[in-house]
Structure 1
Amino acid sequence: MADLWQKAMDHAVTIARRAGEVVREALCDDRKVMTKSSSVDLVTQTDQKVEQLIIQSVKEKFPTHRFIGEESVAAGEACDLTDTPTWIIDPIDGTTNFVHAFPFVAVSIGFSVNKQMEFGVVYSCLEDKMFTARRGKGAFCNGEPLQVSDQQDINQSIIATEFGFHRDPETVDKIFSSLRNILCIPVHGVRSAGSAAINMCLVASGCVDAYYEIGIHIWDIAAGSLIVSEAGGVLMDVEGGVVDLLSRRIVAANSRTIAERVVKEISSFGLPRDDALPPSQ
């Protein structure tokens, strides 16, 4: 069975690179923009084209496997993670970045069996960086091993987060209350790449010490979660428990020490209801 998953991972890397070529080509053309839940919740024809490219390619090689894809779910398909081998796809993580040609745009492909991540692939298209991880075998960027930072002092840390698409005052106030708590620890800085997958790869790379977000989806973080853990990092729910990839919230950090301090600061102001969570980018 292990050989089968390696073949699947090899295919994921190949198709992610091909999808990245589609994304780069589209940046040179007219990027037709549509909206989903709001005027700032964007989708493009390229998102839909890339997702179909990945799904069709995988179906040809692994016809019994299931899919959870951002655009498929947006079109009405169920978002259920079962024990069946499942490809979890974000065709363009960082659609708003893509629309504005902001240079952090990723193709994210995770693969789960028995509800456990077996491999993750995140291709940062414009940087030409291929992040990969296989369960129990480490994490890599363009073939070079990744290792989280050894920073244990939150005061000397850089923290990453995102701000979602909700613009109602109540949700924005909660987001900025959390941000204020983090900044006032104080930390060295807060950063936002505009892509959950890339933020998690930055944690795995050691240049960001933690990333937190409330409102992300499983396709945003499935691949990145394994890349972080295989690089020596830890994953935690924003209330301190075990991460559920379907819960729409996560803390990814270099260590439990940093993760627990982030949890302390972002949980102190209260969490929005699940139906009020801001959608991810």
Structure 2
Amino acid sequence: KRGAAHLCAFEQMRLMLIPPVSASAGIAVATAAVATGVLAGLVLHGIRPHAWAYRRAAETPFRREASLAIWLALRCGKAIVDNAGARVQWKDADGIDPCTATDEANEALVCKELARAFPRHAIIGEEASAKAGRVPALDERTPTWIVDPIDGTQNFVHGLPLSAVSIGLCVDGAPVLGVVYCPHLDELFFGVAGHGSFLNGKRLSADGVEALSQAMVITDVGYERSKVGVRRLGAAYTAVLDEGVRALRVIGSSVLSACWVACGRASAFYCGMHERDCPKPWDWCAAYVIAREAGVHFLRLDGATLATTPDAAATAAPFAVMDCGSACCAGSSKLADLLQALICSSLANADE
């Protein structure tokens, strides 16, 4: 048997927090006592442990995967808070798309621990993809992690307290697990396909708003600065405002935007008007699971259905995580359909 000293930090914590089902009563009591010490240690290091999430993880088929993702998200979240306003490098010649040492360190930590715990899994990370100049293809035969070490890096660089860590898992080509942590608000979103989604222990449910006049809608501009792109962005804004939307907001994080629809802070989110404002797989993967489990409807802005609520027909098309840049999501199917038609029409007119 391996001694605890030979286990990575996560494995020690996982074994302490989640005793084997076959453990005797005495071992279970001892394990619970040690778990209390581990949680206290996290608090001493400035990380609230969110023990509720590990308990929820234990109720799902992805117990080990979810527990590791939760632990990593909390660790990375602390790094975000500790390094707010960090020095920045730029991924592009325009000086618009940032990368910081914290992005790189967070992704390195996540990839290292995921590879150690699940050596047969693949990993797609934002920073590694940026350096390679391409997003790797998703092999549906291999469980694949999709990671955004800091979503909302512009906010992070400028000291705006609104960014998040996003860790998602795809199995058979479909997202099944999502963990999103916003350390500034100490909010942990967690969802597993078929097992619901939660925010700090509370089960999530979308607001169900059907009319734009009652809707808080979030959008994003990304890094789009071309004349064509700006015209398309403006056309979509104008269409939504002309339709009488109650409020239109940009928060600077696609991941949190979708999660906020899941928890009812917003009624809808849309993005992807042109090439450089389109979210990537790491923007959608984890948040999609969380939002879908809360009853959020996803539609592509080209008209193809990306996702449905959990009680939808089994024949519904699966979410295409690697091809989902231009999309909208809403807490009701009626609002999703309305936004899709409104935005697609506005973009067609802008291109004439």
TM-score when normalising by structure 2: 0.74
CA distance in 2, matches of 1:261, 1:225: 20
The runs of 5 or more residues in structure 1 that have no matched partner are: 272-281
Letter in 1 for 2:298: L
User: Pick from 276, 279, 282: which aligns with 1:216?
Assistant: 279
Paired residue for 1:6?
63
Paired residue for 2:329?
252
The runs of 5 or more residues in structure 2 that have no matched partner are: 1-58, 273-277, 307-319
CA distance in 2, matches of 1:40, 1:53: 25
How far apart are residue 78 of structure 1 and its match?
A: 4.2
Paired residue for 1:62?
118
How far apart are residue 210 of structure 1 and its match?
A: 0.6
CA contact (8 A) 1:68 1:80 kept: no
List per-residue Cα deviations over 1:32-68 (Å, max 9, x = no partner).
1111122111111111110001000111111111011
Greater helix content = 2
User: Pick from 136, 153, 165: which aligns with 1:79?
Assistant: 136
User: Pick from 142, 146, 152: which aligns with 2:210?
Assistant: 152
Query: 3-state SS of the aligned residue for 1:179?
Result: helix
CA distance in 1, matches of 2:239, 2:61: 46
Query: 3-state SS of the aligned residue for 2:83?
Result: helix
Letter in 1 for 2:90: T
List per-residue Cα deviations over 1:69-123 (Å, max 9, x = no partner).
1001011164211221111000000000000111111000010000111110000
Paired residue for 2:16?
none
Letter in 2 for 1:70: E
Paired residue for 2:165?
107
Paired residue for 2:296?
233
Query: 3-state SS of the aligned residue for 1:47?
Result: helix
Query: 3-state SS of the aligned residue for 1:111?
Result: strand
Letter in 2 for 1:35: W
Check 1:144–1:4 CA distance in 2 against 1; reply closer, same or farther (3 A cut).
closer
**1:91-240 equivalences in 2 (<5 Å):** 91-214=149-272, 215-240=278-303
CA distance in 2, matches of 1:194, 1:122: 15
Count of aligned pairs: 268
Letter in 1 for 2:102: T
Letter in 2 for 1:250: A
CA contact (8 A) 2:175 2:321 kept: no
How far apart are residue 160 of structure 1 and its match?
A: 0.5
CA contact (8 A) 2:235 2:347 kept: no
Is the deviation greater in 89-98 or in 230-239?
230-239
CA distance in 2, matches of 1:257, 1:79: 35
List per-residue Cα deviations over 1:197-247 (Å, max 9, x = no partner).
100110001120110110110101110111111001111111221223222
CA distance in 2, matches of 1:217, 1:203: 18
CA distance in 2, matches of 1:75, 1:41: 13
How far apart are residue 192 of structure 1 and its match?
A: 1.3
Paired residue for 2:341?
264
CA contact (8 A) 1:139 1:230 kept: yes
CA distance in 1, matches of 2:183, 2:139: 30
Paired residue for 2:100?
44
CA contact (8 A) 2:210 2:332 kept: yes
TM-score when normalising by structure 1: 0.92
How far apart are residue 266 of structure 1 and its match?
A: 1.1
CA distance in 1, matches of 2:194, 2:135: 30
CA distance in 2, matches of 1:3, 1:102: 35
Query: 3-state SS of the aligned residue for 1:31?
Result: coil
CA contact (8 A) 1:93 1:195 kept: yes
Taking CA–CA contacts closer than 8 Å with sequence separation of 6 or more, which of the two structures ends up with the larger relative contact order? Answer: 1
Letter in 1 for 2:115: K
How far apart are residue 3 of structure 1 and its match?
A: 6.5
Indicate the structure (1 or 2) with the bigger Cα radius of gyration.
Answer: 2
CA distance in 2, matches of 1:250, 1:139: 21
